[in-house]
Structure 1
Amino acid sequence: GKAPRRVVVASFSSHVHRVQQVLDAAAAHGRRVAFLGRSMVRNMTIAEDLGYLKVPDGVLIDYKKARDLPDDQIVYMSTGSQGEPMAVLSRMANLDHAIEPGPGDTVILASSLIPGNENAVYRVIDGLTKLGANVVHKGNAKVHVSGHAAAGELLYCYNILKPRNVLPVHGEYRHLMANARLAQDTGIPEERTLLAENGTVIDLRDGVAEAVGQLDLGFVYVDGSTVGEITDADLKDRRILGEEGFISVIVVVDATTGKVISGPEVHARGFAEDDSVFEDVKPKIAAALAEAAQSGVRDSHALSQVVRRTIGRWVNQSLRRRPMIVPLVIEA
């Protein structure tokens, strides 16, 4: 059927052939096309310069000018088919973009779902549907076939190229393995098909490729403006803070006798309960400190461990939580 208003097509910004189809279809139906998303604009400019993208005369229009056209004369070619939060399509679905989809608009997701992105993509589809747009995607229409070669096509490729060495890339290990087996089926010796993972070092010498080493590659975490400084321990701390909450306990003790002079003051963050629930545990903390003082413990670090253990056990038993506990014992 005919789309009554605007049409938005989302695909990868590297899929030149898909963009070509959209340009051709738009030209055939008297619509103009505007590119949305920095990577889409950049890639298609390069593709046109290199002659991979043939733009029919007068079809392309800058998106700022496109808004002056009647709705049924415009197609937006956008990024964000995988539900990326900052890409054009997600922002449209959240009404956080100059173009606000509504009833009568058609949105076409011309892409497969990359496994793991399902929730993000369905969120975008839901958002667009709520706004009244007609969302066309692989699940309800024939708008996309996989861009990955099937086994038969890979065999065809190996038979034409007759490579001396084969290094399958892309996909999980099981996919690399299946690809290597296909290469071996076309007569490439097993020792010439290399299965490499991230960080595998491969030497190519005299026409023979071989794996000669493995670099130890981990994750590099980016946090604000620091790169690679944040550790697994920091992330663990943050997870505890995020999921379990935070408690600080401040106690002032007499340096000579070890008796509690002031406090304990308990402050909690990230708890549903009021700070008043901690009234029950305060005498327990004072008692534990008195006991420690009697045993001759005067070191403020050791005393703060006593505080941590006491409140930690109590919170775990009564609230079923394991928060981060920061005790501060001050000697006066």
Structure 2
Amino acid sequence: MRRPCRGGAAPPGGGRFARGTDGPCSTRRWTGIAAQGKGSAVTIVPLGGLGEIGKNMMVLETEQDLIVIDAGLAFPGDDMPGVDVVIPDYGYLIERKQKLRGIFLTHGHEDHIGGIPYLLKEIQAPIYATRLTLGLVERKLEEDKLALPPRSRAVRPGERIRAGSFTVEPFLVNHSIPDSVGFAIRTPVGLFIHTGDFKFDQTPIDGRVADYQRLAAYGAEGVHVLMMDSTNAERPGVTGSERQVGEALANVFRQARGRILIASFASHLHRLQQVFDLAAQFKRRLAVIGRSMENAVEVAIKLGYLRDTGGVLTPADKIGDLAPERVVVLMTGSQGEPLSALARAATGELRKLELIPGDTVVIAANPIPGNEKLVQRTIDNLFRRGCQVVYGPHAGVHVSGHGSREELRLMLNLTRPRFFIPVHGEYRHLLHNAELARSVGIPDNHILIGENGTVFEITASSARIRGKVAAGAVMVDGLGVGDVGNVVLRDRRQLAQDGVLIVAMVLHREQRKVVSGPDLITRGFVYMRESEDLLAEARERAVQALNGIDEQDITEWSNIKAAVRDALGKFLYERTGRRPVILPIVLEV
């Protein structure tokens, strides 16, 4: 059965129409802007955020100009021991830095702004973001002793920013942090829309509903390409309103007889505002613990995005003087991070706060994939200390900041794009989002699915995948950026799994023989006192390997190391089934 046609009468002022679907359907969409750019092309290159959750970064490029949307980071998985954070590979941008006209940020979450300090050490370009997002970026840069680049400024929804051949207009969306926006980008080939992270909350805490009218106006104008958040494309229905969380938290306040401790994302200011209001309503004093939470609250109060109208905020070192029923604490650690305030309190290692039986702990977040074990461990430790723990979907203390399937479908119907690129999500999320686009009438050959590094080429009349560019992950470990690669990670995983065996020996160059050793030292492999027989036999194998080396080759350290490593590696695997890292050390006299 043929799908009903979508569209309408010609817009005022003349112009041309472009067929919005293939086949005989009479649907047409206004593409007057696209007509102006005939013969030119815009390239879209995701450097992060496609095929993964995190480190979102999108490049839009013409022959003369380039802009970037978001510059985030991701947190390491279990296969990255010792790594602090992961950022996109900026190589593609660095090669084109003379074309960069601006960095546009959709909102203030780490997976969208966390890479800014690392990017600005390589490239300088003005940053455009809403007031709260820019304030959070500025605080982040201060910690790295950096400053905002020249011409950076706060922008408002509806304002138009010229960036070379691009004109960028922010529009308001709802998300789990205030001041979140998407971008309408006028390009030489047509109007592009990047939704950023969004949902349609009908009862937002700050009263600022997403700008449906402007989205519909873009649809009437003619959206050439829509890039839309895919995070919740698997979830049916509509994402709940943040006000539902406020009702669940109010029940906690009514029932708790002792202290209330609430762990949440520091950036979730709407949730924090509800906690401030409830503290005032139930006559409790409120303390904040955890560096990121303290920073977020300070910046948000300074900029007017968080209000302490009841005057409940009090220093954390003063709560010990208050009766338990008069205390509420906001803290970091909703993901069970080992160094977070909640995780340390759960193990009795937090000096500012000692948990006592009767405390009620609310974990107002769902575990990010990969963090489940950390969260479960923290919950177990809290129960061991006699706490009442409120957590999980059944408790109603968390809702997602991303729209579910019906909200994504609504975005598609409001904007009515000619071409569609699902973004921000793991590969299965992108596929589910593509299926939603097909369900509203966008044909298969107008839907482009890619991953990091995919080059999308958009002209006034076509959209195609042109190839791929390098778009890997750069690992940050301490002060080192990019110096941890696959080889280092492989060694770390092997060290973590099987430990290390050090073989030390002294070589006399003139006598051409080993005069001392080999001595064996292990760490993380076997306990030396309990494995003396195994190590003694291993030493004999090392001696045999040395005796088997030609007298002419004995002074070549590489020959000695290779012989010892090969002999011990084979022996230890046969005896133990393990492959420790073997490090022969040769001293010469």
TM tier, smaller: 0.7 to 0.9
Superposed CA RMSD in Å reads 3.2
| Residue equivalent to 1:115 | 369
How far apart are the structure 1 equivalents of 2:388 and 2:567? 59
How far apart are the structure 2 equivalents of 1:228 and 1:102? 44
Preserved CA contact (<8 Å) 2:505 2:519: yes
Offset, 1:134: 0.8
| Residue equivalent to 2:346 | 93
Larger mean Cα displacement after TM superposition, 117-126 or 16-25: 16-25
133, 138, 143: which one aligns with 2:397: 143
Larger mean Cα displacement after TM superposition, 61-70 or 112-121: 61-70
Q: How does 1:61-140 map to 2 (within 5 A)?
A: 61-97=314-350, 98-138=352-392
536, 555, 566: which one aligns with 1:309: 566
Preserved CA contact (<8 Å) 1:105 1:134: yes
Q: Tell me, what secondary structure is at the counterpart of 1:22? A: helix
Q: 1:232 to 1:2 in 2, by over 3 A?
A: same
How far apart are the structure 1 equivalents of 2:340 and 2:502? 38
Q: 1:83 to 1:290 in 2, by over 3 A?
A: closer
Preserved CA contact (<8 Å) 1:33 1:76: yes
Larger mean Cα displacement after TM superposition, 301-310 or 115-124: 301-310
Q: Output the amino acid matched with 1:221.
A: M
1:234-279 superposed Cα distances (whole Å, 9 cap, x missing partner): 23233333423213141546756x5x56344222212223474343
Matched, 1:170 2:424: yes
How far apart are the structure 1 equivalents of 2:540 and 2:338? 49
Structure in which a larger fraction of residues adopt helix? 1
Q: Output the amino acid matched with 1:218.
A: G
1:136-195 superposed Cα distances (whole Å, 9 cap, x missing partner): 112562323333322112212322333454433332111122112213322344444443
Larger mean Cα displacement after TM superposition, 146-155 or 282-291: 282-291
The two structures have a TM-score, normalised by structure 2, of: 0.49
How far apart are the structure 2 equivalents of 1:280 and 1:304? 18
Q: Output the amino acid matched with 2:278.
A: A
| Residue equivalent to 2:281 | 28
Offset, 1:109: 1.0
Q: Tell me, what secondary structure is at the counterpart of 2:423? A: coil
Preserved CA contact (<8 Å) 1:164 1:207: no
Q: 1:25 to 1:247 in 2, by over 3 A?
A: same
Q: Output the amino acid matched with 1:95.
A: G
Q: Output the amino acid matched with 1:315.
A: L
Q: Tell me, what secondary structure is at the counterpart of 1:86? A: coil
Q: 1:292 to 1:40 in 2, by over 3 A?
A: closer
Larger mean Cα displacement after TM superposition, 33-42 or 273-282: 273-282
Preserved CA contact (<8 Å) 1:9 1:75: yes
| Residue equivalent to 1:220 | 474
Larger mean Cα displacement after TM superposition, 57-66 or 75-84: 57-66
Q: Output the amino acid matched with 1:178.
A: H
Matched, 1:195 2:452: no
Preserved CA contact (<8 Å) 2:499 2:522: no
Preserved CA contact (<8 Å) 1:255 1:298: no
Q: Output the amino acid matched with 2:449.
A: L
Larger mean Cα displacement after TM superposition, 206-215 or 26-35: 206-215
> Aligned pair count?
329
1:302-327 superposed Cα distances (whole Å, 9 cap, x missing partner): 34433333333333333443333333
How far apart are the structure 1 equivalents of 2:538 and 2:470? 48
Q: 1:16 to 1:281 in 2, by over 3 A?
A: closer
Matched, 1:273 2:505: no
* Unmatched tracts of structure 2, length 5 or more: 1-253
Offset, 1:19: 2.0
Larger mean Cα displacement after TM superposition, 163-172 or 105-114: 163-172
Larger mean Cα displacement after TM superposition, 173-182 or 280-289: 280-289
How far apart are the structure 2 equivalents of 1:12 and 1:131? 23
Preserved CA contact (<8 Å) 1:246 1:323: yes
How far apart are the structure 2 equivalents of 1:205 and 1:63? 57
| Residue equivalent to 1:10 | 263
Q: Tell me, what secondary structure is at the counterpart of 1:197? A: coil
Offset, 1:330: 6.5
Structure in which a larger fraction of residues adopt strand? 2
1:43-72 superposed Cα distances (whole Å, 9 cap, x missing partner): 345545665545433233343444433221
Q: 1:87 to 1:284 in 2, by over 3 A?
A: closer
Q: Greater RCO between the two (CA within 8 Å, min separation 6)?
A: 2
Offset, 1:130: 1.4
Q: Tell me, what secondary structure is at the counterpart of 1:228? A: strand
How far apart are the structure 1 equivalents of 2:322 and 2:439? 56
Offset, 1:282: 4.6
Offset, 1:207: 9.5
Q: 1:63 to 1:299 in 2, by over 3 A?
A: closer
| Residue equivalent to 1:245 | 500
How far apart are the structure 2 equivalents of 1:25 and 1:39? 22
Q: 1:268 to 1:320 in 2, by over 3 A?
A: farther
How far apart are the structure 1 equivalents of 2:458 and 2:308? 41
Preserved CA contact (<8 Å) 1:107 1:135: yes
How far apart are the structure 1 equivalents of 2:460 and 2:391? 49
How far apart are the structure 1 equivalents of 2:397 and 2:541? 67
Q: Output the amino acid matched with 1:124.
A: T
Larger mean Cα displacement after TM superposition, 275-284 or 144-153: 275-284
The two structures have a TM-score, normalised by structure 1, of: 0.83
* Structure (1 or 2) with the larger CA radius of gyration: 1
Q: Tell me, what secondary structure is at the counterpart of 1:321? A: coil
How far apart are the structure 2 equivalents of 1:266 and 1:308? 14
Larger mean Cα displacement after TM superposition, 164-173 or 97-106: 164-173
34, 38, 47: which one aligns with 2:291: 38
How far apart are the structure 2 equivalents of 1:127 and 1:45? 30
Preserved CA contact (<8 Å) 2:505 2:514: no
| Residue equivalent to 1:324 | 581
Preserved CA contact (<8 Å) 1:36 1:76: yes
